[in-house]
Amino acid sequence: MGKKVLITGGAGFIGSYTADRLLEEGYEVRLFDSLDPKIHPHGKPAYVSGDMELTVGDVRDREALRSTLQGVNAIIHLAAYQDYLPDFSTFFSTNAVSTAMLYELIVEDKLPIEKVIIASSQFVQGEGLYRNSRGEIVSPDFRTREQLERGDWEHRDQWGEIMEWIPTPETHFVPPNAYALSKASQEQQGIVFGKRYDIPTVVMRYSIVQGSRHSFYNAYSGACRIFSLSYYFERAPTIYEDGKQVRDFVNIHDVVDANLLVMNDDRANYRVFCVGGGRPCTILEFDRIVAREFGLEHLEPSIPMLYRYGDTRHAVSDISALEALGWSPKRTVVDSVSEYAFYLRSQEGLKDIIGEVENQMKGMNVLGRATKDKRD
């Protein structure tokens, strides 16, 4: 108690909730955040408590980072570049280089840091693990454009049979894009530098985190935002592929519980943990949960055979390692959706940004349409 925790990206979704809980538990909290206008177009969010220090700065700025590291006992490194844009180097300069710089400064200035927690992502697991028709566990490559154009959505084994997804553990590591590659680098740096310099480090590989405060303007905030905004404006959302893809949604308060647990449990040191919801949910199921929340179950989603090239088909993490430390997800997807809907309804002057995001994706050649139905 009385310890000071620095949270980079602390004005964001996961950071602010983690900060609130730390404050409740008697920690002092310092936030370091660039207030990225793409995430926070109206500046400092109103939910940031006045009981915390907030320094506006960029994790790429070495001297700003050095200064904010002084006098803290622990660091939660959440600031990150998250986007679908093809500016590959920005993912590395923000996510990977900032992590290297954190360890460099801790070592250089001999800082007495007792714990570093690094935010990674389920994306690091790529397509995840599957069981083929012979019962073997395999790691499929991503689906080709040609396959997606046929509307043949599932992963198939070499004999053409549909494979079965299985929950993927933290040992699996196949980053498929620049964001995931930068997160994978952060993971490895945390484990290697942490062990090498005795800086207890834990990597948290979050699945899709849901709850209020997730920026409406963050193109990365996914299904909850898109579906909720659609139903809010009484429009049926568009579902990609066939909607049977399985996702792993985890509630923000469960994520905060997990962050606090590993902060105080030495058994977590130098390890990577998947932080998922523990209950797989298809996009079709998710759609119905949101429609019910907005009282619009009579609206049917549109399923026009569109796909996003690069999307994983199914993504579910194996959370047993974190469960073995005593954590388990306690909130449901219904809880997350109703919390998000409450937040959305409390906003003023919210503009309809769905069309804007879809146009952005079309412009980036991410959205495609299957031209045939299923396999020939």
Ligand X SMILES: NC(=O)c1ccc[n+]([C@@H]2O[C@H](COP(=O)([O-])OP(=O)(O)OC[C@H]3O[C@@H](n4cnc5c(N)ncnc54)[C@H](O)[C@@H]3O)[C@@H](O)[C@H]2O)c1
Q: Which of 7, 9, 155, 237 binds ligand X (CB under 6 A)?
A: 9
Smallest separation (angstroms) from ligand X to the CB of 145 = 26
- β-pair type (137-138, 129-131): antiparallel
Q: Which of 15, 140, 190, 301 binds ligand X (CB under 6 A)?
A: 15
> Residue 332: helix, strand or coil by DSSP?
coil
Q: Which residue has the tokens 């460099």?
A: 104
Smallest separation (angstroms) from ligand X to the CB of 280 = 16
Longest Cα–Cα distance in the chain: 65
Report yes or no: 221 and 211 within 8 Å, Cβ to Cβ. Answer: no
Q: Which of 124, 209, 274, 289 binds ligand X (CB under 6 A)?
A: 209
In this structure, what token pair is assigned to residue 47? 């939910």
Name beta bridge partners: 6. Answer: 30, 75
Smallest separation (angstroms) from ligand X to the CB of 294 = 22
Q: Is 79 in the site for ligand X (CB under 6 A)?
A: yes
Nearest of 372, 331, 70 to residue 212 by alpha carbon: 331
Q: Is 36 in the site for ligand X (CB under 6 A)?
A: yes
Instruction: Please identify the residue of the shown chain whose CB is closest to the bound ligand X.
Output: 12
Q: Is 219 in the site for ligand X (CB under 6 A)?
A: no
Smallest separation (angstroms) from ligand X to the CB of 213 = 7
Identify which of residues 14 and 148 has a Cβ nearer to ligand X in the complex: 14
Q: Which of 59, 106, 202, 370 binds ligand X (CB under 6 A)?
A: 59
Identify which of residues 59 and 322 has a Cβ nearer to ligand X in the complex: 59
Smallest separation (angstroms) from ligand X to the CB of 374 = 32
Q: Where are the beta strands (DSSP E) in the chain?
A: 4-8, 28-33, 53-56, 74-77, 115-121, 129-131, 137-138, 164-166, 201-206, 208-210, 246-247, 249-251, 271-275, 281-282, 306-308, 367-369
Q: Is 208 in the site for ligand X (CB under 6 A)?
A: yes
Q: Which of 147, 218, 282, 338 binds ligand X (CB under 6 A)?
A: 218
- Determine whether 1 is exposed, middle or buried from the number of CB atoms within 10 Å of its CB (0-12, 13-18, 19+): exposed
If binding means CB under 6 A, how many residues of this protein chain bind ligand X? Answer: 29
Identify which of residues 56 and 192 has a Cβ nearer to ligand X in the complex: 56
Q: Which of 133, 177, 215, 332 binds ligand X (CB under 6 A)?
A: 215
Q: Which of 5, 6, 7, 12 binds ligand X (CB under 6 A)?
A: 12
Q: Which stretch binds ligand X (CB under 6 A): 5-13, 309-317, 327-335, 339-347?
A: 5-13
Q: Is 251 in the site for ligand X (CB under 6 A)?
A: no
Q: What is the DSSP secondary-structure string of 227-286?
A: HHHHHHTT-PPB--TTS--EE-EEEHHHHHHHHHHHHH-GGGTTEEEEE--SS-EEHHHH
Q: Which stretch binds ligand X (CB under 6 A): 77-85, 102-110, 237-245, 297-305?
A: 77-85
Name beta bridge partners: 4. Answer: 28
Q: Is 34 in the site for ligand X (CB under 6 A)?
A: yes
Contacts 24+ apart (CB under 8 A), 222-225: 223/247, 223/249, 223/283, 223/286, 224/249, 224/290, 224/336, 224/337, 224/340, 225/340
Smallest separation (angstroms) from ligand X to the CB of 58 = 4
Identify which of residues 30 and 132 has a Cβ nearer to ligand X in the complex: 30
Q: Is 331 in the site for ligand X (CB under 6 A)?
A: no
Give the interface with ligand X as residue ranges (CB under 6 A).
Answer: 8-9, 11-15, 33-36, 39-40, 58-60, 78-82, 94, 119, 121, 206, 208-209, 215, 218
